[in-house]
Amino acid sequence: MVYYENLAEMYVGDDVSPDFYGWVFPKCDHVAVGTGTVTHKGDIKKFQLATRNRARDKILGGKIIRVEAHPIPEHPRPRRLLGRVALVGDAAGYVTKCSGEGIYFAAKSGRMCAEAIVEGSGNGKRMVDESDLRRYFGEMGQGILAYI
């Protein structure tokens, strides 16, 4: 897996997905190999196998640790804040629809929310409430949501 230490790959074609793409990207001590589809969910195992086959020579000797599937949100959730709980990243629906990309939005929204908590709490001197977190969602509306 050394090949993927500083590299990610995307695969396109009907073999990996007729309406999305396949990918391989590095994680801490392994790589994530995956694909997605909206229109052919019943064929997802076939697409996953095709993606692994495309990367076969570069992941030789690797083993499948876990197989997971997760829906990709198609739009921001209407309610992302309740009391002192704020949703960020995929949980909030901050994903680019056309590519499924969400890592940038997860990191950005997480940081923005954390900054709102630190500021709203006076650097930990008081407990934040919903009004403190509303600032975060106001910034999100003008920032990240413009790109989704």
Tell me the pLDDT tens digit for each residue of 97-141.
777 788 888 898 899 889 888 988 898 898 888 788 877 777 666
**Same domain as 141, residue 87:** yes
Q: What is the pTM of this model?
A: 0.65
Phi, psi of 120, deg, nearest 5: -65, -30
**Same domain as 90, residue 53:** no
Given a cut of 90, is residue 38 above it in pLDDT? no
The beta strands (E) that lie in 5-138 are given as 9-13, 17-26, 31-35, 81-82, 85-86
**Does the residue 45 lie in any domain?**
yes
Is the backbone of residue 12 left (phi > 0), alpha (psi -120 to 50) or beta?
beta
Instruction: Look up the domain containing 128 and give its range.
Output: 81-146
Burial 78-109 (b: 16+ CB within 10 A, else e): eebbeeeebbbbbebbbbeeeebebeebbebb
**Same domain as 98, residue 44:** no
**Same domain as 139, residue 88:** yes
* Alpha-carbon span 49 to 40, nearest angstrom: 14
**Same domain as 40, residue 91:** no
* Alpha-carbon span 69 to 62, nearest angstrom: 20
**Does the residue 71 lie in any domain?**
no
The pLDDT tens digits for 57-86 are 999 888 889 888 777 887 888 888 887 788
Q: What is the pLDDT of residue 79?
A: 84
For 39, other C-beta atoms within 10 Å of its C-beta total 10
**Does the residue 133 lie in any domain?**
yes
Given a cut of 70, is residue 147 above it in pLDDT? no
**Does the residue 63 lie in any domain?**
no
**Same domain as 41, residue 88:** no
**Same domain as 87, residue 39:** no
Q: How many domains does the chain have?
A: 2
Angle between helices 103-120 and 130-142 (to 10 degrees): 140
**Same domain as 37, residue 93:** no
